[in-house]
Amino acid sequence: MVVFDCDSTLTKIEGVDLLAELKGREKEVKALTEMTMNGHLLFSQALHQRLEMVKPTKKELLWLGGQYIENRLSDAREVIARLKEAGRKVYIVTGGYREAVEILAEYLGVKKRNVFALDLKFGKNENYLGPNWKNPLSQHDGKREILRRISKQGKTIFVGDGATDLETKDVVDLFVGFGGVVVRPIVKENADVFLEELSLLPILKIVQKGRKT
């Protein structure tokens, strides 16, 4: 299996930061994002604070899905197609919001059932009510729990940019740190492999060189 994070990995943006721009809270939200991605703040703490600042509507998440596609890595679709042609199962595991992530996933050719993302609750007018705290991804070590489940199916590579991705290192066969969009020191120092170019094509080489998934 090959598993990808979404923001700053498959796409060049951080979705929550883009939503924050719409609400005039960009500076505060971006600071929380950086603290979380660099391992200085628990994801569950940042999640609540950022969502209270942004309070995204369903309409805004659909808009964000389009932004994900517009800002995708240029070779993401090709890489995923080639992995699937080679018989690899491809997943997306992310702290991003499901409505937006599934739009990108469909464009890239990843099945909805292979997408693990945050679920938000909405009211009758599609206004934000809060996160679904039962979703493992709303909790600290949520990605690690999801990757632990996926890895039971066979050898697994996880590709991600942030500290929450790095937390999965002990439950996957290979953790690939992705620094093509942003280099996070904690990830660069601790990843099994670290990529700095703005391309996912090296993933194909990693698989082809015998790091079986």
pLDDT digits (tens, 9 = 90+) for 33-75: 888 888 888 888 888 899 999 999 999 999 999 999 999 999 9
Write the class of the CATH domain 2-208.
Answer: alpha beta
E strand spans, the chain: 2-4, 90-97, 115-118, 120-122, 128-131, 157-160, 174-178, 193-195
Domain ranges in the chain?
Answer: 2-208
Give catalytic residues, as residue numbers.
5, 7
Q: Are 117 and 92 in contact (CB under 8 A)?
A: yes
d(CA 19, CA 186): 26
Question: 113 CB contacts (<8 Å, ≥6 apart)?
Answer: none
SS3 content of the chain, % helix, strand, coil (to 5): 50, 15, 35
- The predicted-structure confidence for 121-147, as pLDDT tens digits, reads as follows 999 999 999 999 999 999 889 999 999
